[in-house]
Structure 1
């Protein structure tokens, strides 16, 4: 049976859909608080340029090393001698951390979906007590939210099992709808833009201690605030083995970044001209408030609907990506062989089931405070597992340039060398900024180290595989 494949547009939709999720709805407020209009614009441009170097790296590696599928964390094993224990351990740890980080992050998207749905169904926030047992009280809103989240998770599970093209087309439809919606918002914003709201264009901001922050400090704050806006740029490379052409992976990664960047810059800057600065900084729903100044009450309904569509696409894309990570890692010998199980549509059946069962456990956070605390803990420590693969990919590209592997001309090596150096520096800065708090850093290391509990099983599995190969020979 011919394996279904993803073309350029479906890959691009996965990149955009995974990058542009729920965060865009709150980002304008946090950016306005962090910087003046000039700082916001410059911060976006600098961040966009930095992430562009990473996007180019991902595209280059997909073409130069097409056999290394499954995501940037896979390149970890290539930084060490082939077949060595260091190679296997690094690849396994990186894949493990990235997988667990994604699974936990999926629950955040799913629960946000329920939050947006409450705009249309207020009963989801009902405080009516269903029953109480000891210190535990189950409220009707929490119960319904749990049921909504659980339903969404397993509906997405069923859709993904129908095949890569079916899932890709639904993701494309959701992504195309939200991109169109955001660009319509931008057009409305252009007409509603009040220049006086962004004056002064360059203005001081203040930290918690009351110290004045200049333009450079503001740009740095914006870069930190937008750190998570670009998580998902690696989506196309995770699905590289399912792409019709490896060149589409590079094109989709760069195209997806540019589309997302246009949406981010357009919305965050235009909202500054639709709401006064003091109003924007205090707003809990900046996009809704901004569109409300033009369209009135119907604006909140439209934005909530756009949010739901946006989250459906993001949920589908991230659940699919989460299952693909250990599946592709297992193909590289970096994960337990059980994760290689497929259904008749060549979808990672076992990997998808295990990933979603873990997500289901965390969805209990909607009805149990103890689980909520556990969920917050995992999200808190997942920072490093998201960012480390970026450093790995850019370092591996630099290694290829240094050794000359896959290169023919010195000009190509020089060009990619400069990009690799910039991407490596930027990636390291991302890790440093994202884990600046020592507690976050140490807990992130603990998450990666937790893979060591399962590492002996992987070694045993590989030993048995080698024994069988010798016997068959």
Structure 2
């Protein structure tokens, strides 16, 4: 059905929209704190090159293995003997972890939306007491936040139910608007840019113990900070099964990455040239402070408005992605068959309802600070679920290059092998640095392993299918 397919520009918008979310508004301060201007630029270069290698792997696999739809985590089952228990288990576990990370991450985006909305409606920050039950006090601001988050979640839900093309078009409009907004910001910032604020270009930074961090250490710190800017680069490959042309998946991934990279680097560098380094490091709202120094108080409202548009697009894109992951996994026989249920528009209705229902449970974290802390902890340990699929894809590409599967000649295997090797090295480094705290790593593994309780449902369904065939 052509009307149920995604074109090149909509796929590109999904990549850009999911990559450029709330993180961009705080990233300039984080980078200034961790590295000098030289370290920041080299850190962007390192991360950009590494993610480009991973993106090339994604695009290549989408063309060579078009039947393996649903995202990079799907390739886990292809690393082992076909239809073996370890093959199905690894595919299920990686899909399970990625799914949990997605719908939990959606709530982080939705709650951030309310914080930007509070610029226009201060009642969202009200600490007036609505009711008190025992030790629990419900504040007006928390109640309003909960209501807004709930309305946004289910509003997006019903938009998506009307069809992938409509939802994709709406995401494209929101993404186009925010890309234009960020480029206007960049143009305005160019007129206020002062090179003197970047000096000294290679200045030392200091760790918590007061030790000097040299340029190489700064590059590493900056690269770790920029890493999260690229989560979502896999968005087009998740929707490969809904693409009009498989070649569009690779093109959209590369172009989306380039656009996002241009926005991130442009804003990071320009903000460093608008605010003195000491002020930037202390700033809680770097983009607001930067634009206010140029346009005055009206700048805060402009940035808040841009933030709302940015987050609306990201919310829609990530909710789409969250429902698509288990739906495509079920198509591959890696998830419970209930996730295959579609509505008349071809949308995965069961997957969408369950994903958003679980997200709604997490939205209750807005009611209490103690619940919010628990939610933040879940997001923190979901790190591994996001990063492992990058390694899985790179390893699978290496496997194809080694075995020669899908290759008619040996010529194209060499460059693909080099790209896959570089992507694998980068992915290992990403996992190592992203989960450098051993406790985080172990808890991330536990989060992935939690799916083991549901795996028998998948295994039993596959057994029944084999017996009936």
Range into which the TM-score falls when normalised by the shorter chain: over 0.9
Structure 2 counterpart of 1:337: 337
- Length-normalised TM-score, structure 1: 0.98
Note the 1:264-343 alignment, pairs <5 A: 264-343=264-343
The change in CA–CA distance for 1:363 and 1:214 in structure 2 (over 3 A counts) is same
Deviation at 1:106, TM superposition (A): 0.5
Check conservation: 1:3, 1:346, Cα contact below 8 A: no
Structure 1 counterpart of 2:103: 103
Superposed CA deviations along residues 357-395 of structure 1, whole A, max 9, x for unmatched, are 000000000103443233122112100000000000000
Aligned partners of 1:445 and 1:306: how far apart in 2? Answer: 36
Structure 1 counterpart of 2:249: 249
Aligned partners of 1:392 and 1:2: how far apart in 2? Answer: 31
Gaps of 5+ in 2: none
Note the 1:357-396 alignment, pairs <5 A: 357-396=357-396
The 10-residue stretch of structure 1 (455-464 or 432-441) with the greater mean CA deviation from structure 2: 455-464
Structure 2 counterpart of 1:145: 145
Gaps of 5+ in 1: none
The 10-residue stretch of structure 1 (208-217 or 136-145) with the greater mean CA deviation from structure 2: 208-217
Structure 2 counterpart of 1:57: 57
The 10-residue stretch of structure 1 (362-371 or 132-141) with the greater mean CA deviation from structure 2: 362-371
Aligned partners of 1:31 and 1:373: how far apart in 2? Answer: 25
Structure 2 counterpart of 1:84: 84
Aligned partners of 1:467 and 1:180: how far apart in 2? Answer: 56
**2:438 pairs with 1:400:** no
Structure 1 counterpart of 2:213: 213
Aligned partners of 2:277 and 2:458: how far apart in 1? Answer: 55
Q: What secondary structure sits across from 1:363 in the alignment? A: helix
Structure 2 counterpart of 1:162: 162
Aligned partners of 2:371 and 2:288: how far apart in 1? Answer: 31
Check conservation: 2:3, 2:165, Cα contact below 8 A: no
The change in CA–CA distance for 1:3 and 1:346 in structure 2 (over 3 A counts) is farther
Q: What secondary structure sits across from 2:119 in the alignment? A: coil
Structure 2 counterpart of 1:459: 459
Superposed CA deviations along residues 204-236 of structure 1, whole A, max 9, x for unmatched, are 111111111111111000001111110000000
Check conservation: 1:128, 1:140, Cα contact below 8 A: yes
Superposed CA deviations along residues 173-218 of structure 1, whole A, max 9, x for unmatched, are 0000000010011111111101111111111111111111111111
Deviation at 1:2, TM superposition (A): 5.2
Q: What secondary structure sits across from 2:132 in the alignment? A: strand
Q: What secondary structure sits across from 2:412 in the alignment? A: helix
Question: What is the aligned residue count?
Answer: 469
Q: What secondary structure sits across from 1:411 in the alignment? A: coil
Aligned partners of 2:312 and 2:100: how far apart in 1? Answer: 21
After the TM superposition, list the runs of 4 or more consecutive aligned residues in structure 1 that deviate by more than 4 angstroms: none
- Length-normalised TM-score, structure 2: 0.99
Aligned partners of 1:45 and 1:435: how far apart in 2? Answer: 21
Aligned partners of 1:370 and 1:225: how far apart in 2? Answer: 27
Superposed CA deviations along residues 77-109 of structure 1, whole A, max 9, x for unmatched, are 000010100100000000000000111100000
Structure 2 counterpart of 1:235: 235
Structure 1 counterpart of 2:420: 420
Aligned partners of 2:240 and 2:344: how far apart in 1? Answer: 20
Check conservation: 1:327, 1:340, Cα contact below 8 A: yes
Aligned partners of 1:370 and 1:326: how far apart in 2? Answer: 30
**2:178 pairs with 1:178:** yes
Check conservation: 2:274, 2:290, Cα contact below 8 A: yes
